[in-house]
Amino acid sequence: AQKITQTQPGMFVQEKEAVTLDCTYDTSDPSYGLFWYKQPSSGEMIFLIYQGSYDQQNATEGRYSLNFQKARKSANLVISASQLGDSAMYFCAMTGETSGSRLTFGEGTQLTVNP
């Protein structure tokens, strides 16, 4: 079975600063995918970034980057230059060889960006 742990229920950051949201995972699959999604208060689920377990480089998408440390089983999301619109719930999720393409989510981190 796969498990995602997000240990920060809430995080606060000042506008224009960088913030790191933690995600650790547990799996016995040799191959897997790691995803981050953003859920604003309006409820939609927005895909942010993907990291494959065999990818040599950390994924980046604009202001989002994924700090992937395979040995530590961590996949932290780094948001640079935070904006007020970044305030939302952030979910880390994963797929794997044995579980297929179904997403297993963590409990989420509520990020608040202060002006």
Partner 1 sequence: AAGVIQSPRHLIKEKRETATLKCYPIPRHDTVYWYQQGPGQDPQFLISFYEKMQSDKGSIPDRFSAQQFSDYHSELNMSSLELGDSALYFCASSSKTSSIFQETQYFGPGTRLLVL
Catalog residues that contact partner 1 under the rule CB under 8 A. 29, 31-33, 35, 37, 43-47, 50, 52, 91, 95-97, 99-108
Nearer to partner 1, 52 or 81 (CB): 52
Q: Nearest distance from residue 43's CB to partner 1, in Å?
A: 5
Nearer to partner 1, 12 or 47 (CB): 47
Q: Nearest distance from residue 41's CB to partner 1, in Å?
A: 12
Q: Nearest distance from residue 100's CB to partner 1, in Å?
A: 5
Residues 115, 27: Cα–Cα separation, whole Å: 39
Nearer to partner 1, 43 or 115 (CB): 43
Give the SS3 label for residue 86: helix
Q: Nearest distance from residue 113's CB to partner 1, in Å?
A: 21
Cα distances (angstroms) measured from residue 110 to each of 47, 90, 100 = 16, 6, 28
Nearer to partner 1, 50 or 64 (CB): 50
Nearest to 33 by CA among 13, 7, 51, 12: 51
Residues 76, 100: Cα–Cα separation, whole Å: 22
Q: Which tokens belong to 19?
A: 């913030």
